[in-house]
Amino acid sequence: MQFQDFSTYNAVTRLAALARDPHDLTAADGLPSQRVRDFTASFCGFDLLYATQRISPEVLGTLQDLADEAGLVETFKAMKQGAVLNRIEGFASENRQVLHTASRDVFDEAPEAPEAAAKAKQELSKLHAFLDDIKSCRLVNANGQTFTTMVQVGIGGSDLGPRALYIALKSFSLPGRAARFIANVDPDDVAEVLQGLDLSRTLFNIVSKSGTTLETLTNEQLVRAALIREGLDPSRHLVAVTGEGSPMDDATRYLGSFYMYDYIGGRYSATSMVGAVTLGFALGYDAVIELLQGAHQVDRAAEQRDIRSNIPLLMALLGIWNHNFLGHATIAVLPYSQALARFPAHLQQCDMESNGKSVTRQGQQVAWQTGPVVWGEPGTNGQHAFYQLLHQGTEIVPVEFIGFRQNQYGLDLEVEGTSSQQKLVANMLAQSLALAVGKRDDNPVRSFSGNRPNSVLIADRLTPRLMGALLAIFEHRIAFQGFCWNINSFDQEGVQLGKVLAGQLLRLMTSNSQIQPEDLEDDGREKMLLQQAGML
């Protein structure tokens, strides 16, 4: 498979010329009703309203040309079929397939990656049996009581995605079931989570692909010590999600092991056993299947070449337009749904760890901008916090709004003629409109420049199936952008240097350390840092 430098595409040259005079949303005819109708896409239960982006029909057509010229859909299909895309040509790299889609490609008789899909089916069967044992009281604690809580212990992709999904779908929890999460190596995180738990009725799900993740193993030891203090046998309260054959794949220390595979990156692993075990415990097996079905529907639909019918591809190209051609360095993901409170944090990792790269697939320095800074918080809370900068700041921040026409719990009432959900959606649409068209006022502090690009992704109600679809939409948006920028979106070498230096500092902090001067990066530097920080 051949990849081409982003700057060499013909469509890039044309887009650069079009960007010198982008569509003016504040003009008298900048946002007519016909434009709103024309610039709306429907896809897998979602509608994308993108008339409030600074694009013209010509720009949209040229973005389509870019997608075709770069072969984005072809590369996406190759990824799902098992092409080795996690690699840098001519340099040492992970050299792996990228098959997170296989974890939900278990519903087709002819899956695109048969071997990986078969392994996913096997793990789902193990999970089904495990959850059935809990439900039927075949798996109970030493006193014959059922388990009521599962605590997931992991970090990065072993925490952010599963945590975001659980919070998003908490309203669908089984009666008497709950999940909690431990990630930070800060011992206060463990202490706060364990506080108030009935440990005798708690399962701990320890998640580490390698079985050697320092933060996770440290927190596991704190959990084991807490169980022992309560007179409980840790091996009857811990399960593992890990690589087959890893140090954690040990039946003497865990109730059981569920496997994760090296072709599924951590930040793309929420629909594998990394997320499914805890979600299955809290929400039930059927909810997990619905989540996977929603993601799988998007996996299939994202193969469409027409960007007007393919929301992940369209969002990717709109992001490239804003970032590479209009020069906007960040993007805010603002869900108008309290259930999605942690979804921006998951997307922050998924996007910035994937596309925060500065070398091409051939190991050369890029000559164009790659991934933007991604951030966000739920609305309407954010309106009373950082929206001031969004509307009138010197930094223009493109926005991706997410909303739902109905709430999850069904608890609502009318106040002054409208329900809370109506107020929520009205606020989201009003913010979208205000950012786009602005407002002129003789008083400069009450003048809004407008032309702040944004889009609205909206669906009926956040369910497990729609959550799976939403997750996959953003996963594929990120991958499409990485393909277009000619970077490897599936490694994360940038996290390694800090880990190495942390190990050196920890060895210095050990009282019986035998570390030699030649092991240090710079003679005395690490020791001086520790002394100045009051840690030595």
CB 445 within 8 A of CB 44: no
Rounded to whole angstroms, the Cα distance separating 301 from 343 reads: 22
Q: What is the residue-wise DSSP string for 169-190?
A: TGGGPPTT-EEEEE--SSHHHH
User: Does the CA dihedral 209-211-214-220 come out positive or negative?
Assistant: positive
Length of the chain equals 536
According to DSSP, residue 106 is labeled: -
With H, G, I as helix, E, B as strand and everything else as coil, classify residue 86.
strand
Within 10 angstroms of residue 11's Cβ, the number of other Cβ atoms is 18
With H, G, I as helix, E, B as strand and everything else as coil, classify residue 231.
coil
The closest alpha carbon to 165, from 298, 300, 291, 350, belongs to 291
Catalytic residues: 353, 384, 499
With H, G, I as helix, E, B as strand and everything else as coil, classify residue 6.
helix
With H, G, I as helix, E, B as strand and everything else as coil, classify residue 37.
helix
Q: What is the residue-wise DSSP string for 107-132?
A: S-SS-SSHHHHHHHHHHHHHHHHHHH
With left for phi above 0 and alpha for psi between -120 and 50, is residue 196 left, alpha or beta? left
Q: What is the residue-wise DSSP string for 397-423?
A: --EEEEEESS-SS----EETTEEHHHH
